[in-house]
Amino acid sequence: MNVGLLGFGTVGSHFYLLAQQQPGVKVKAVLSRRPRPEVSCLVTADVARILSDPDIDTVVEAMGGLHPAYEYITAAMEAGKHVITANKQVVCTYYNELLALAEKTGVALRCTAAVGGGIPWLTSLRRAARMDKMVSVEGIVNGTTNFMLSAMVRRGASFADALHEAQLLGYAEADPSADVEGYDARRKLVLSANLAFGVSLMEEDIPCVGITNIQPRDVAVVRDKGLTFKLMAYACREARGISAYVAPVLVQQHTTEANVEDTGNILTLVGEHIGRQSFLGAGAGGWPTASNVLADCLAVAAGERGYYTRDCTPCFVKNELLDGQWFYRFKGEYYFRQCTAEAAFSTYAVHLMEDPEALMAKVR
Ligand code: HSE
């Protein structure tokens, strides 16, 4: 396999090093605006040199962002090249188009590294969804916010210091608001739910609350109740569609989720017959994420084609049947409320109009 590598940031540079040790996976060219003296193959700022090279059969996109990643991915597929990406934003946003293009061109499109960093989640979910009817998917899917919450809970770090540390360690997205506002988790939820339920969800349809309003006093209050905050994504099959949300969740301190620390992710599927299965591991960082990119290369080299599924029926998000307990801080007062997820997010939107620092969390 001859690879054209687009991007040489955290994921790209680690993939380059991993590929050096993998017979059969040869990086032939790297797209980079800057000189890369550590790279022994062609380094170019001209993507056309990679996309028009008939010797390059596979493009690994590790640039992130929507544009020009989308244009480069589609051009590569049109040129008959397989595409492997860690870019959840581009796959989530152009889901139907990219699946259709993979089908039309007969190439492989894989993004296992896009959800769960180094965890083989999408491949495991695909395996489960082929043999069983999926009931729900959920998990801690953002390493940056989990790292930050761990630092805030265990070391009493401030929100700003914890974020700065996560950025220095290369965990955060280029725009870290995608992490702390929950958008990165929501994209990972879309990719997971789409695969689990054979649907195509719109990212914007899923209510999403991040961790920006969690304050040290909240951490102390919930700790006294034997609880801890985790940012979690959840989706389940309902009678009339799919229920889904991203929100801070209060989990009991003795649970597995509560003890997923630092950049750890945990992803759980529930199937009608196989029951509950959880996948736990490193959810961010160069080596784990690049390992999943490399695993995708090996799968393509072994003959995998297309996307993981062809099923992508457009589907609405319906949260009016999903009942549960929710926790709020509004104007300095804490309270619990039993209601549907739809009502919970509506209440929070009203709270935010009067108190921009208001907090909401799901109680597990
Ligand atoms: N910013 C992402 C995270 C990177 O922190 O989870 C891995 O997808």
119 lines ligand 1 (CB under 6 A): no
| C-alpha to C-alpha distances, 336 to 79, 86, 258, 339, nearest whole angstrom | 55, 38, 20, 10
The pLDDT of residue 240 is above 90: no
The pLDDT value recorded for residue 293 is 98
117 lines ligand 1 (CB under 6 A): yes
pLDDT, tens digit (0-9, with 9 covering 90-100), for 79-126: 999 999 999 999 999 999 999 999 999 999 999 999 999 999 999 999
- Name 220's Cβ contacts closer than 8 Å, sequence gap at least 6: none
CA 237, CA 243: separation in Å to the nearest integer? 6
The pLDDT value recorded for residue 126 is 98
The pLDDT value recorded for residue 174 is 79
State the closest ligand 1 atom to the C-alpha of 188, by its place in the atom list counted from 1. 8
pLDDT, tens digit (0-9, with 9 covering 90-100), for 39-57: 999 999 999 999 999 999 9
- Name 156's Cβ contacts closer than 8 Å, sequence gap at least 6: 216
Return the amino acid letter for 61: E
- Name 201's Cβ contacts closer than 8 Å, sequence gap at least 6: 190, 193, 194, 235, 242, 244, 315, 317
Which residue among the candidates 81, 188, 230, 318 is catalytic per the annotation? 188
State the closest ligand 1 atom to the C-alpha of 171, by its place in the atom list counted from 1. 5
The pLDDT value recorded for residue 239 is 85
The pLDDT value recorded for residue 178 is 95
Task: Provide the CA 254 distance to its chain's centre, in angstroms.
Answer: 25
Instruction: Give the whole-number percent of the chain exceeding pLDDT 90.
Output: 98
pTM here is 0.98
Give the mean pLDDT of 219-233.
Answer: 97
The pLDDT value recorded for residue 175 is 87
The first and second tokens of residue 230, run together, are: 């985790």
The pLDDT of residue 270 is above 90: yes
Q: What is the mean pLDDT of the chain?
A: 97
- Name 64's Cβ contacts closer than 8 Å, sequence gap at least 6: 7, 9, 86, 87, 89, 173, 174
The pLDDT value recorded for residue 305 is 98
The pLDDT value recorded for residue 211 is 98
The pLDDT value recorded for residue 43 is 98
Q: Per mean pLDDT, which range of 159-163, 330-334, 354-358 is the poorest?
A: 159-163
Q: Is 172 helix (H, G, I), strand (E, B) or coil?
A: coil
pLDDT, tens digit (0-9, with 9 covering 90-100), for 152-175: 999 999 999 999 999 999 898 878
Cα 67 to ligand 1 centre (Å): 19
Which of 10, 173, 186 for mutating ligand 1's site (highest number of atoms within 8 Å of CB)?
173
pLDDT, tens digit (0-9, with 9 covering 90-100), for 278-324: 999 999 999 999 999 999 999 999 999 999 999 999 999 999 999 99
What is the SS3 string spanning 258-324?
A: HHCCCCEEEEEEEECCCEEEEEEEECCCHHHHHHHHHHHHHHHHCCCCECCCCCCEECCECCCCCEE
- Is 188 a catalytic site residue? yes
Cα 283 to ligand 1 centre (Å): 7
Return the amino acid letter for 101: L
State the closest ligand 1 atom to the C-alpha of 114, by its place in the atom list counted from 1. 8
Cα 294 to ligand 1 centre (Å): 18
172 lines ligand 1 (CB under 6 A): yes
Q: Strands 134-140 and 227-238: what pairing?
A: antiparallel
> What are the chain's domains?
2-110 (3.40.50.720), 121-283+315-363 (3.30.360.10)
Q: Residue 313 CB: number of other CB atoms within 10 A?
A: 10
Q: Tell me which residue has tokens 């899923």.
A: 206
181 lines ligand 1 (CB under 6 A): no
184 lines ligand 1 (CB under 6 A): yes
The pLDDT value recorded for residue 173 is 84
Cα 284 to ligand 1 centre (Å): 5
248 lines ligand 1 (CB under 6 A): no
Q: Whose CA is nearest to atom 4 of ligand 1?
A: 284
The pLDDT value recorded for residue 222 is 97
Task: Provide the CA 235 distance to its chain's centre, in angstroms.
Answer: 14
